[in-house]
């Protein structure tokens, strides 16, 4: 059992360092205390099967991998890198699919409606109006996965696409009003400051 603790400790340290996260960050990911993670890495204890499963799921490895001596250091590296690449692909796929679905539905609606209402307005309703929803979905996914700068980009994109929709609505009902986009400038400044992209230095 003592050897198993040491083996697990070595593998956990290697995986955590490959992921470039701290003990506290790992503890947060698996809903455990950083003190427990520290004890595991010192080889003083080993978690139960449920926690081992959580750790394995996070790093993309099996429980068997966690408790088996890895004679080749590269084995840990390759396993970790493979898991990271799979995670990244899955995240991209999950975030892109809803947008593709929305655009597909928009295309189907356009093809169905355009013969009866052949106008630019029909194209705008079918393709331009759904775009803010796509940007909003991408913002939600990037926020969940903690990509701060990408989240900022999608918030900005959502803002401007929403203004474009308002622009077309006004244009269809009253008259084109390009000055509507001036509203976006202060709103963009607020968004940039909230994400720390722009900082106001206070003079002492």
Give the domain ranges of the chain. 2-71, 85-194
Residue 26 · residue 80 · CB < 8 Å:
no
- Which pLDDT value is given to residue 204? 42
pLDDT reported for residue 201: 56
CA distances from 47 to 19, 53, 150, 151 (A): 20, 10, 36, 35
What is the C-alpha separation between 102 and 111, in angstroms, rounded?
A: 14
Which among 197, 183, 97 is positioned nearest to 152, based on CA atoms?
A: 197
pLDDT one digit per residue (tens) for the chain, 204 residues: 457 888 888 889 888 888 888 999 999 989 888 899 999 988 888 999 999 999 998 888 889 888 888 765 555 555 556 556 666 777 788 888 999 999 999 999 999 998 988 888 888 889 999 999 999 998 888 888 767 888 889 999 999 999 888 888 877 655 556 677 888 888 888 888 887 776 655 444
pLDDT of residue 104: 95
pLDDT of residue 83: 59
CA distance 26 to 40: 12
Q: What is the pLDDT of residue 81?
A: 61
Class of domain 2-71: mainly alpha
pLDDT at 105: 94
Nearest to 167 by CA among 128, 120, 114, 117: 128
Torsion of CA 38, 42, 44, 46, to 10 degrees: 70
Q: Which residue has the tokens 């400038």?
A: 185
Closest CA to 23 of 43, 7, 3, 39: 39
């Amino acid at each position: 059992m003592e050897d198993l603790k040491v083996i697990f400790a070595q593998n956990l340290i290697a995986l955590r360092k490959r992921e470039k996260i701290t003990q506290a960050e790992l503890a947060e990911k698996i809903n455990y205390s950083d003190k427990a993670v520290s004890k595991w890495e010192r080889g003083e204890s080993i978690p139960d099967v449920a926690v081992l499963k959580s750790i394995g799921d996070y790093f993309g490895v099996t429980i068997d991998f966690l408790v088996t001596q890895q004679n080749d250091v590269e084995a840990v590296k390759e396993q970790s890198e493979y898991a990271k690449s799979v995670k990244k692909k899955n995240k991209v796929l999950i975030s892109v699919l809803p947008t593709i679905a929305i655009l597909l539905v928009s295309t189907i609606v356009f093809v169905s409606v355009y013969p009866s209402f052949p106008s630019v307005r029909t194209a705008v309703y079918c393709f331009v109006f759904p775009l803010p929803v796509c940007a909003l979905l991408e913002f939600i996914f990037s926020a969940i996965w903690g990509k701060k700068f990408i989240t900022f980009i999608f918030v900005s994109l959502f803002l401007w696409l929403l203004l474009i929709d308002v622009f077309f609505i006004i244009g269809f009902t009253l008259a084109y009003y390009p000055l509507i986009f001036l509203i976006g400038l202060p709103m963009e400044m607020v968004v940039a400051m909230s994400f720390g992209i722009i900082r106001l230095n206070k003079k002492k």
